[in-house]
A and B are shown apart, each in its own frame.
Chain A
Amino acid sequence: KAGVTQTPRYLIKTRGQQVTLSCSPISGHRSVSWYQQTPGQGLQFLFEYFSETQRNKGNFPGRFSGRQFSNSRSEMNVSTLELGDSALYLCASSLDEGLGPKNIQYFGAGTRLSVL
């Protein structure tokens, strides 16, 4: 069974541009979460989607948005990029929403975004 796939692995953008990152969950998983990891702020939760609906949102500005498609694949978009958006963006999928004992999150390897 393929794991969580994030594309692209690396991305370089300039300030003011926008970017779209993609996440393909493990087959059969319906929940997808996104995280931002930076040296300064650490690991921070961005969004959680289940069945195409946003279930939870972290404390990020409106420039950060996401969506989930009917096949559970998810994308996140960052508009008007700032230098501080340089980070590793991680995606995780799980079978279901919530914190049931068997509902484990599996992470992708991340997309490294550099904003110049």
Chain B
Amino acid sequence: AQTVTQSQPEMSVQEAETVTLSCTYDTSESDYYLFWYKQPPSRQMILVIRQEAYKQQNATENRFSVNFQKAAKSFSLKISDSQLGDAAMYFCAYRRRDDKIIFGKGTRLHILP
């Protein structure tokens, strides 16, 4: 069975600094998708970034980028120039085509002013 592991339950970063959130997953599939979602205190989940496993190039969205290591089954999220609004719970997720999505337990990110 596929699993997603986020080993850091909580992290803190100084405003304007860079932080990396870790995620590893276990699968025997070769075609799948990986996601990072953000859940701020308002509870509304927002998609931050997604990566197709067949793409070697790492996805980027403004200050957010991923380091996708397919062989190592690692999918970390880097947030550059951290802002107070980045404070949230971050979930890593895995989904195979036509199958259900599986989430990690989440990492709570605190931004220190």
Contacts and interface: CB of A to CB of B under 8 A. Distances in A.
Same assembly: yes
Interface of A: 33, 42-45, 48, 55-58, 88, 90, 92, 98-99, 101, 104-105, 107-110
Interface of B: 33, 42-47, 52, 91, 95, 97-106
A108 B44 contact: yes
A2 to B, nearest CB: 13
A12 B66 CA distance: 40
Top 4 nearest A-B pairs (CB, nearest first) are A107-B45, A43-B103, A45-B100, A42-B105
Tell me whether chain A's interface is mostly helix, strand or loop, or mixed. Answer: strand
Tell me whether chain B's interface is mostly helix, strand or loop, or mixed. Answer: loop
Contacts of B43: 88, 90, 109-110
Contacts, number: 41
A107 B105 CA distance: 18
Contacts of B106: 42-43
A104 B103 contact: no
19 contacts: A42-B104, A43-B91, A43-B106, A45-B100, A45-B102, A45-B103, A56-B100, A57-B100, A88-B43, A90-B45, A98-B97, A99-B95, A99-B97, A101-B52, A104-B47, A107-B44, A107-B46, A108-B44, A109-B42
